[in-house]
Amino acid sequence: MSHPSYRRVAVTGAAMSKFAKRPNDATHDIAWPVIKQAIQMSGFDRREIQAAYCGSAFGGRLVGQRALRPLGMLGVPVVNCENACSSGATAFREAWLAVAAGLYDVVLVIGVDKLTALGGGVLPGQAECHEVAVGLSMPALYAMRARRYMHEHGVKVEQLAQVAVKAHRHGARNPMAQFRTEITVEEVLASRPVAEPFTLMQCCPTGDGAGAVVICAADRIPAMGGRAPIWVAGTHLTSGIYTPGIRDMTTPEITVRGAKALYEEIGIGPDDIDLAEVHDAFTIAELLYYEAFGFCERGGAVDLLMSGNSSIGGRIPVNPCGGLLCKGHPVGATGVAQIVEIVTQLRGEAEARQVEGARVGLAHCTGGGIAGLDHGACAITVLTR
Amino acid sequence: MSEDSTAAEQIWAVPDAIDHDSDGVPRLVAGHCAHCVATYYPRPQLCPTCWSEDVRKVMLPRVGRLYSYSVVHTGRAGWQTPYLLGAVDFPEINTRVVGVLKGPPDWRPALDSSVRVGVGQICSDAKGAPVFAHQFHLEN
């Protein structure tokens, strides 16, 4: 939520690691090179960073301090944020709030996770959750959404698989992506089943990685070697509404509500967005989010996908980096990495995956399975050039 | 589990969520707020709507409607895969319950099918002991 007295905030530095399986690297060794790169890009000296906000879902305690210690940067306030898949995006929002409200002028945001430390497979659920206790997992939850959506809108598995094909077509152009190869519908459907209708290639991979950005108040923009500051038009964080009874799983309540609130707050609509990074943890998710953000009508997501208008070169390119499906999803890193991608795109530095003329980009990070909620958390940020 | 385990010592995935009719048919137990009449599964100690702590036991109908499901091939430790997991609606009292679906091999039920509440082992715990819960079966 914004406030008339809030200051304008800009991103000046943004960097991420290649997402990959790095079981032999410590979490702090995944994070510090990225933090160093972001600060060097930002135009600030490390001693000008007044606070750090770190998002991590599975990194354990004091992840921010562990990441900053190798850089000799401690002694400032460090806020560690856990909000499931939205951990990094939540850290960004809290950092933005601190700068916008005047608490600090220059702040670092980190997102990092090392999922290979969990041993692979499906992410652990909350054992205390009664739905997890009877066999629910994130793939199964999204799979149930998918099956209902397919039932109601007459969608075929081949069309669902096209989301993964598009993700890999984009990700093949992204040197930071976990996968760099294009795939076919046949390959997607022939990969091993995980939770029907999903095969492996319709699920984001486990992996390790980090992202970091430096933000500052408008009156503290430093020289950045010719790079433009990228402005935070608005950022919105919310939690899912507890709806324990019968509810429609084919429309993502938390994202629909968050998108509407942010659009109204900053006075834009879906037609003003030039590109979007949405939380495509599974193929169905990207389709649901086309509709949630108003990029198409309800039930029109497959048509939007198949038209090519959500691809690079189309009307509203979605996940030009490859998205979670192809770039990867080290959970706490994702929200920050999405911001990095938008900043890179708005600066015109995305090379082979560049969305030409992009001036407004949206990043959307939601997740966390809790019974009775669409998702636990959802953070949406709009950045402008 | 000891050799002389009794039914009372069975491990339940969701505690206190099953009761039986007088004819022995298992029923899911939800909570019904005596103050604002909202219903929740499983039965909470506190009504999230009105904060009343007078949340009474209510039995869900014997038959629900299958909203969606997945055939899960990648399970956690203690689970035999593949297994079917569904979300089952009880529209009479606006309640949805997630649970294992039991049917013939390679069963792929139609959405909106009627399913009947049953009980059985769904997985094993870390010590290898059976864990029981509600299950849903195709209603004939």
pLDDT at B125: 93
Q: Which of B67, B72, B111 sits opposite A135 (nearest CB)?
A: B72
pLDDT > 90: percent of chain A: 93
Tell if the CB–CB gap between A139 and B98 is shorter than 8 Å.
no
User: How far is Cα A146 from Cα A284, in angstroms, rounded to an integer?
Assistant: 5
- A385 vs A150, A244, A336, CA distance in Å? 38, 41, 18
- Going along A179-310, which residue ranges are E strands? 193-195, 198-199, 208-217, 230-239, 275-277
| Average confidence (pLDDT) over A203-209 | 97
Q: Which of A135, A143, A371 sits opposite B100 (nearest CB)?
A: A135
The residues, any chain, with a CB within 8 Å of residue B72's CB and separated by 6 or more, are: A135, A137, A139, A140, A143, A195, A196, B79, B81, B82, B83, B84, B85
Q: Which residue of B has its CA nearest to A242?
A: B48
**Residues A307-354: pLDDT tens digits?**
999 999 999 999 999 999 999 999 999 999 999 999 999 999 999 999
Which residues partner with A40 through β-bridges?
A: none
Q: Which of A124, A140, A245 sits opposite B85 (nearest CB)?
A: A140
Residues in chain A closer than 8 A to B71 (CB atoms): 193, 195-196
Which residues partner with A367 through β-bridges?
A: A377
Closest CA–CA distance from residue B95 to any residue of chain A (Å): 4
| Average confidence (pLDDT) over B53-76 | 96
Q: At what angle do helices A283-292 and A138-153 cross, to 10 degrees?
A: 60
Closest CA–CA distance from residue A197 to any residue of chain B (Å): 7
A263's tokens: 């659009």
| Average confidence (pLDDT) over B131-138 | 96
C-beta pairs of B18-21 under 8 Å, 24+ apart in sequence: B18/B119, B18/B133, B18/B134, B19/B57, B19/B59, B21/B59, B21/B62
Compute the residue count for chain B.
Answer: 140
Tell if the CB–CB gap between B85 and A122 is shorter than 8 Å.
no
pLDDT at A347: 97
Kindly compute the dihedral angle of the four CA atoms of residues A139, B124, B131, B89, in this order, to the nearest 10 degrees.
Answer: 20
User: How far is Cα B83 from Cα B74, in angstroms, rounded to an integer?
Assistant: 9
C-alpha closest to that of B31 among B13, B12, B50: B50
Residues in chain B closer than 8 A to A140 (CB atoms): 70, 72, 85
CB A68 within 8 A of CB A112: no
* Interface predicted TM-score (ipTM) of this complex, two decimals: 0.94
| Strand, helix or coil for residue A71 | helix
Tell if the CB–CB gap between A133 and B133 is shorter than 8 Å.
yes
Which residues partner with A9 through β-bridges?
A: A217
Q: At what angle do helices A157-171 and A283-292 cross, to 10 degrees?
A: 90
Residue in A81, A85, A326, A365 annotated catalytic: A85
Is residue A365 among the annotated active site residues? no
| Average confidence (pLDDT) over A256-276 | 97
- Is the Cβ of A119 closer than 8 Å to some Cβ of chain B? no
| Residue A2, number of CB atoms within 10 A of its CB | 15
What amino acid is encoded at A89 in this protein? A
**Residues A217-260: pLDDT tens digits?**
999 999 888 889 999 999 999 999 999 899 999 999 999 999 99
User: How far is Cα B76 from Cα B70, in angstroms, rounded to an integer?
Assistant: 15
Q: Taking the model in full, what pTM does it have? A: 0.96
| Average confidence (pLDDT) over B2-20 | 77
Q: Among A79-93, B6-20, B60-74, whose mean pLDDT is lowest? A: B6-20
pLDDT at A123: 83
Greatest alpha-carbon span in chain B: 46
pLDDT at B76: 87
